[in-house]
Amino acid sequence: MEAVSVYSWGATFVGCAIWEYESMRSHALNMLKKPIKFFRRQAEYGLDKSNKLSKEVTKWWNSLTTGQKVFGPICALNILVFAAWRIPRLHPFMLNYFASNPASPHQCLPMLLSSFSHYSGFHLLANMYVLHSFSTGAVYSLGKEQFTALYLSAGVISSFTSYFYKILRKQPGLSLGASGSIMAILAYVCMQYPETQLGIILLPFITFSAGTAIKFIVGLDAAGVLMGWKFFDHAAHLGGAATGICWALYGNKYVWPQREPIVSYWHQVRGSIK
């Protein structure tokens, strides 16, 4: 199972490194083609009356921050998976691939896919609210590719932590939800900006620093693990938080730069920009 976890984490890291390379390559090609596009637009001006809805959607999308553009697809995927849980005939498939379970014959994909899976509408709403609140700051600090690598890696690591805890305590059961990945993002932001003031939605008069918040959350989940609480998957939360903290301390400096050999190899396979 540990090998499966390492394989899954490695796949997310490699995929995001290649994505960053492709984004940079696409940007370079677009810059080279800009003069051609300019003259083409001038020639076609007034002839193409494409539908206004498409233009409005494009205008709205371009007005979003990079963090919001990353949050949008993640939120949409979570909503689609939530909708799939509402279809009874899909339940066997969803249980096999969108819920992590140490007793399942499928171990690799559920570690990742379960982090996009919610059965409860309230669980989905709460997780997406927290992710939306912290994604902009995290993407600004990390960039969209490194953010995605952290988010997906934390999903795998939190699932593995949950597996390990259930096996240790002999408590089989299903786990699903984006909480592990979101805990990593939350922990990263709190570590990077510990003096940022946070608050509670229903109690806006209560504020506390981000550094205090992450200490309290980690302490609460550690107590949940030690005392065997079952209200949340506290082990998965701890796994996600540990990933975010480690990434803030070491990942950006020591792990992400190691993508260079991957990018160089991909560049050779794909071919140089032409």
Per-residue model confidence (pLDDT) at position 238 = 93
Count of domains forming the chain: 1
Is residue 77 scored above 90 in pLDDT?
Answer: yes
Per-residue model confidence (pLDDT) at position 131 = 92
Q: Which domain holds residue 27?
A: 2-270
Q: Which of the four pLDDT bands, split at 50, 70 and 90, describes residue 28?
A: low
Mean pLDDT of all residues in 216-224: 90
Q: Which of the four pLDDT bands, split at 50, 70 and 90, describes residue 5?
A: low
Residue 118 among the catalytic residues: no
Please state the φ and ψ torsions of residue 95, each to the nearest 5 degrees. Answer: -65, -35
Per-residue model confidence (pLDDT) at position 13 = 63
Mean pLDDT over each residue of the chain, to the nearest integer: 80
Residue 158 among the catalytic residues: no
Per-residue model confidence (pLDDT) at position 67 = 85
Q: Which of the four pLDDT bands, split at 50, 70 and 90, describes residue 45?
A: very low
| Burial of 272 per CB tally in 10 Å (0-12, 13-18, 19+) | exposed
Q: Which of the four pLDDT bands, split at 50, 70 and 90, describes residue 38?
A: very low
Over the Cα atoms of the chain, what is R_g? 21
Task: Catalytic residue, from 115, 179, 181, 234: name it.
Answer: 179
| Number of neighbours of residue 63 by Cβ within 10 angstroms | 8
User: Which CATH number fits the domain that encloses residue 266?
Assistant: 1.20.1540.10
pLDDT per residue as tens digits for the range 148-185: 989 999 999 998 898 888 888 887 778 888 999 999 99
pLDDT per residue as tens digits for the range 184-203: 999 999 999 888 877 766 55
Mean pLDDT of all residues in 212-216: 88
Task: Catalytic residue, from 237, 264, 267, 272: name it.
Answer: 237
Q: What pTM value is reported for the model?
A: 0.79
Give how far Cα 76 sits from Cα of 49, 83, 115, 124, Å: 30, 11, 13, 11
